[in-house]
């Protein structure tokens, strides 16, 4: 996401909370190499889709996971802890 590269990941752990399927990346079922191959082929065959997913993923990264966001969330958390 940060590198403006389309992300293909499995629907395991917290990944589905980070990747919005077909918007900020492509999610595949775990242990389904056929679906992984299909997702890769889809992006290779459709450069426009690849670019759209890459750009959406980058925007999502900037809005949710950039260093500034990370730091500000920690400052807020520490401030709340200090007040209590």
The pLDDT tens digits along the chain (84 residues) read 999 999 999 999 999 999 999 999 999 999 999 999 999 999 999 999 999 999 999 999 999 988 999 899 999 999 999 998
Number of domains the chain is built from: 1
CATH number of residue 17's parent domain: 3.40.50.2000
Q: Is there a domain that residue 3 lies in?
A: no
- Which residue range(s) make up the domain with 27? 8-83
3-state class (DSSP) for residue 55: helix
Residue 16 belongs to some domain of the structure? yes
Q: Is residue 71 part of a domain?
A: yes
User: Alpha-carbon distance 19 to 7, whole Å?
Assistant: 8
Say how far apart CA 31 and CA 19 lie, in whole Å: 18
Residue 72 neighbours by CB distance under 10 Å = 11
Q: 51 φ, ψ to 5°?
A: -65, -40
In this structure, is residue 1 part of a structural domain?
Answer: no
């Amino acid at each position: 996401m940060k590198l403006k590269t389309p992300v293909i990941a499995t629907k395991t752990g917290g990944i589905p909370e980070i990747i919005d399927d077909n918007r900020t990346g492509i999610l595949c079922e775990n242990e389904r190499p056929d679906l992984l191959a299909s997702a890769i082929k889809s992006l290779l065959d459709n450069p426009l889709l690849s670019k759209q997913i890459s750009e959406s993923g980058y925007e999502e990264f900037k809005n949710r996971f950039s260093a500034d966001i990370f730091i500000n969330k920690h400052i807020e958390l520490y401030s709340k802890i200090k007040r209590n």
